[in-house]
A and B are shown apart, each in its own frame.
Chain A
Amino acid sequence: MSSPTSPMAPPRSFIWSRRIFLTLLTGFVLVPVYVMLSSSLKPLSDVTGKFRWLPSGLTIRPYIDIWSTVPLAKYFMNSLIVSVAATVCSVVIAVFAAYAVSRYEFRGKRVFTVTVLSTQMFPGILFLLPLFLLYVNIGNATGIALFGSRGGLILTYLTFSLPFSIWMLIGYFDSVPKDLDEAALVDGCGPLGALLRVVVPAAIPGIVAVAVYAFMTAWGEVLFASVMTNDSTRTLAVGLQGYSTLNDVYWNQIMAASLVVSVPVVAGFLLLQRYLVAGLTAGAVK
């Protein structure tokens, strides 16, 4: 009666409305990307010129220059290390916390969830300075260098994505039937065994979504990175501003560099995206 993933063969009107909507949306998404791409292929003197759909003179020069104007490869590696580490830690910690909230009754549960969420409310601009002070003082007291190091940045970013990750995962875990992990407990798994063998696999789409989110949060953060990094730990989001100097702004190189560094991210997502739908096709959720 229906294909494995579609509940029912969609009617023709639905298909047409889908085509129109997705086409418009693709246009909305892609026009700026196209502008970036065409700007990245122009000589600097043409970038700010009158917009034309088809640029006149093309050059790949910016794609060569980006590597020498700023240490792009180093920034890229810094961003990658920081983002991946923050993502892994954030997801693991969020899975544990969400599991506790979803599966156990305990005192202070409501306080915990609301407190965690409330951390999203404080404008970053204001706890920047206190956090910096705190890191410096922890450094002075314990010798652990948190500012200027990748470690401090990882710590900061993982807590940025943690609250939302926990909240999302609570929702996902709640929708995994409790009989499943109770069955696992009866089968002799401990609570952690039940979490890892039953609940986590069933919530893979949610975990992947949360991981993508955690990665992007760390990947794109500018404000904290701008004061907490130095020459050797600077991340991409901040480092890109190195293409704009006091007098010169290398627009074409900014665009070229942004596209170059985004390709691996989008490619990574292309690989990951099938896990976003794995929950259903794997049939783990009944």
Chain B
Amino acid sequence: MRKNPSDPAAPGPRRRRGERIRRIGLPYLLLLPALVLELLVHLVPMVIGIVMSFKELTQFYIRDWGTAPWSGFDNYKVSVDFDAPVGKALLHSFFVTVGFTLLSVGFCWLIGTVAAIYMQDTFRGRGFLRALFLIPYALPVYAAVITWVFMFQHDNGLVNHVLHDQLHLTDKPSFWLIGDNSFYALLIVSVWKGWPFAFLIVMAGLQNIPKELYEAASIDGAGRLQQIRRITLPSLRPVNQVLVLVLFLWTFNDFNTPYVLFGRSAPEAADLISVHIYQASFVTWNFGTGSAMSVLLLLFLLVVTGVYLVFTSRGRKTADV
């Protein structure tokens, strides 16, 4: 498509200007499809969502939301009035989500990275294990989470069968899907489903580490752990920077897992913010308040991401313009 610029027949100055435009224009041209699509599917709806957050968008107005009355900051006031039940519940849900997200991302990353490092060397059955580890990621969310619901059942579940009937670790069967334990149930399911992704990405990242580095290190007499600490982890840094951030954002916004696990009203201990907002908008048909909560969430995530990028980009030269 693109002709080789070193065409001797072209006149000097014109050719150079064409090349200049091409050189400057090319990156934009390459970015254009991505930019247009992101604008269409994410940014424009996001702006519409922000507009909605300033409206009183209840079932009385959704049919023609353009005519819904402006409510100024009312939706926001309701959301952040932490003395009133709505604000208090939102704040509670926010803290639960933050705690849950940190733990889940931590475990996903840890398990994924350890597994990827262990599976760096060839050994019998490695390819098979790699595919096997992808199963939780490949299974349809609905079925996978429902299976966990079965396993967590009080009377008939596998978890209580093992913990109580077989290992006698508890005095009586525990409840996992209601009450305080539901937090751990949610965490386990989330890690089970999430770690293969970290594994996949770290595994691909490991392939880019030149093996000469390891060879040099082993000549210097560095052991396995030292190699991992001195070579593997620093080399994975750019991959990890994105991986951890994206895991964080997804886990924070994950809707399917808690929704299938607990239905439309989650136990307080596991009341994640995405289901909370779903309740505030779709179930109670108040899209204005739901939007306002989402915008607050968006602001929070923007700040977290900004701070995170500033901290993790230190000493990293690339992509800094």
Contacts and interface: CB of A to CB of B under 8 A. Distances in A.
B34 A119 contact: no
A121 B26 CA distance: 29
A258 B140 contact: yes
B250 A120 contact: yes
A147 interface: no
Most buried by A among B4, B137, B215, B250: B137
Given A35-B150, A158-B37, A258-B144, A167 B118 contact: no
A128 to B, nearest CB: 8
B143 A126 contact: no
Nearest to A95: B30
Interface of B: 1-6, 24, 26-28, 30-31, 33-35, 37-38, 40-46, 48-49, 52, 111, 114-115, 118-122, 127-144, 146-148, 150-151, 153, 155-158, 161, 192, 197, 200-201, 203-205, 207-208, 210-211, 214-215, 217-218, 223-224, 227, 238-239, 242, 245-246, 249-250, 253, 255-256, 273-274, 277-278, 281-282, 287, 290-291, 294, 297-298, 301-302, 305, 309, 318-321
A241 B142 CA distance: 8
Interface residues of A, number: 120
26 contacts: A7-B227, A26-B132, A29-B192, A35-B150, A39-B150, A50-B161, A51-B150, A93-B33, A97-B33, A106-B24, A106-B28, A112-B35, A115-B38, A116-B38, A118-B302, A121-B305, A124-B255, A125-B294, A158-B37, A159-B41, A206-B208, A222-B256, A258-B140, A266-B131, A273-B127, A273-B131
B230 to A, nearest CB: 12
Given A22-B119, A190-B2, A266-B131, 15 more contacts: A2-B215, A3-B121, A7-B218, A21-B114, A29-B136, A36-B139, A50-B155, A97-B33, A104-B27, A106-B321, A109-B321, A119-B42, A126-B277, A191-B2, A269-B134
B136 to A, nearest CB: 6
A145 B143 CA distance: 31
B208 A93 contact: no
A163 B256 CA distance: 20
Contact of A266 (B134, B246, B319): B134
Interface in A237-270: 237, 240-241, 251, 254-255, 257-258, 261-262, 265-267, 269-270
Interface in A181-224: 188, 190-192, 205-206, 208-209, 212-213, 216, 219-220, 222-223
A122 B46 contact: yes
B52 A130 contact: yes
A31 B151 CA distance: 10
Interface of A: 1-3, 5-8, 10-11, 14, 17-18, 21-22, 25-26, 28-33, 35-36, 39, 47-51, 93-94, 96-97, 99-102, 104-107, 109-110, 112-127, 129-131, 133-134, 155-156, 158-159, 162-164, 166-168, 170-172, 174-175, 188, 190-192, 205-206, 208-209, 212-213, 216, 219-220, 222-223, 236-237, 240-241, 251, 254-255, 257-258, 261-262, 265-267, 269-270, 273-274, 276-280, 285-286
Contact of A192 (B1, B5, B133): B1
B31 A112 contact: yes
Nearest to B42: A119
A71 B277 CA distance: 33
Contact of B49 (A33, A126, A265, A273): A126
B129 A6 contact: no
B224 A10 contact: yes
A152 B282 CA distance: 22
A48 B150 contact: yes
A41 B227 CA distance: 47
Contacts of A208: 204
A6 B302 CA distance: 41
Contacts of A94: 34
B143 to A, nearest CB: 4
A273 B134 CA distance: 10
B110 to A, nearest CB: 11
Contacts of B133: 25, 29
A105 B2 CA distance: 20
Most buried by A among B5, B132, B207: B207
A150 to B, nearest CB: 15
A277 B119 CA distance: 11
A44 to B, nearest CB: 13
B147 A279 contact: no
B132 A236 contact: no
A232 B65 CA distance: 29
A159 B38 contact: yes
Contacts of A96: 30-31, 33-34
Nearest to B224: A14
